[in-house]
Amino acid sequence: MTDATTVAAAREPGSRAVRTRGLSKRYGKGTLAVDGLDLEVPYGAVFGFLGPNGCGKTTTIRMLLGLIEASSGTAELLGEPMPGSARKALPRIGALVEGPAFHPYLSGVDNLRRIDAVDRSTDPATVAERIESALDRVGLRAAARKRFRAYSLGMKQRLAIAGALLRPRELLILDEPTNGLDPQGTREVRSLIGQLAADGVTVLLSTHLLSEVEQVCSHVAVMHRGRLVTQSSLEELRATVVSRVRVETAAVEDAARVLGGAGLSDVVAGAGEVTALIGEHPPEKLVDALVAEGVPVRGFGVVRPDLEDVFVSLTGEGFDVGG
């Protein structure tokens, strides 16, 4: 992989692995697929580009890589303006966009040889070693000689990631990399992303899966209907939504009265439990208040908001968690 320390030392303060300003894409006169995107991906981040299918994520990635022309705005990858400096920037970038496309009658290793042969910046003398290393990283060494048409969808996806790893990369852009993978394959890809990040690679991970972002990402940007709703570290984003207290009790009306009297808002009484926004109230004092009022408490906890809660708070809409 790249010498992350050397690369990082050469970066200017405030530089970003990905930066866009007012990036937009309009199709025809009506459809605005991406609307004024100001995206900033820090170096070294595993950056979750999150949003439902059709919200503009893939269109954004295609503009970043110079695959389609932006209607307006600017984009930079690794400090280089795109698409003007594509020849300078792209050899430092690996990408998987809209699923894998390989020759069905060639083996996995032969498909990777064809990909490598197109890259004039690689050393032909090291191709066998680099292909073996890439296949090993994605867990496909045992299937290297199988024809691509015999691969499962998960194997095809991992082979595509291997193609992006045939040379050292500073930035890896992955569009729905776990799409179609079984649970084991999904865990392998997530583990691989973590290893790449540990090696100093910046990863831009486009996904519609909330669980994927929560498990592997350090930063997140939320897209909704072509617009960027918010971007920040994952922890900062979660902090924008207040946690809820949950009281398990048979006396739900009494518990709701006590919580409301203590100043908690959005008190909701359900079957055998009461929840409310906890705000800055110390949990232990709430327990004391409930006990003092004779409320039988079977369970008490503070529920931390997840990304679905955050998405709903930002957009007012639900999210297809499972894809």
Q: How confident is the model at residue 152 (pLDDT cuts 50, 70, 90)?
A: confident
* Amino acid 5: pLDDT: 45
Element housing 131 (H / E)? helix 127-137
Q: What is the mean pLDDT of residues 175-180?
A: 83
Domain locations along the chain: 4-233, 244-304
Pairing state between β 265-269 and 219-224? unpaired
* Amino acid 322: pLDDT: 46
pLDDT tens digit string along 28-44? 877 899 999 999 999 99
Q: What percent of the chain has pLDDT over 90?
A: 55
Matching fold, domains 4-233 and 244-304? no
pLDDT at residue 78 greater than cutoff 90: yes
Range with the lowest mean pLDDT among 245-254, 262-271, 304-313? 304-313
| Assigned fold of 244-304 | Alpha-Beta Plaits (3.30.70)
* Amino acid 2: pLDDT: 45
Q: Which CATH code fits 4-233?
A: 3.40.50.300
pLDDT tens digit string along 228-265? 999 999 888 877 777 889 999 999 999 999 999 999 99
Query: Edge-to-edge strands of the sheet including 244-249?
Result: 265-269, 273-277, 244-249, 297-303
pLDDT at residue 134 greater than cutoff 80: yes
Give the number of other Cβ atoms within 10 Å of residue 43's Cβ: 19
Residue 99, helix vs strand vs coil: coil
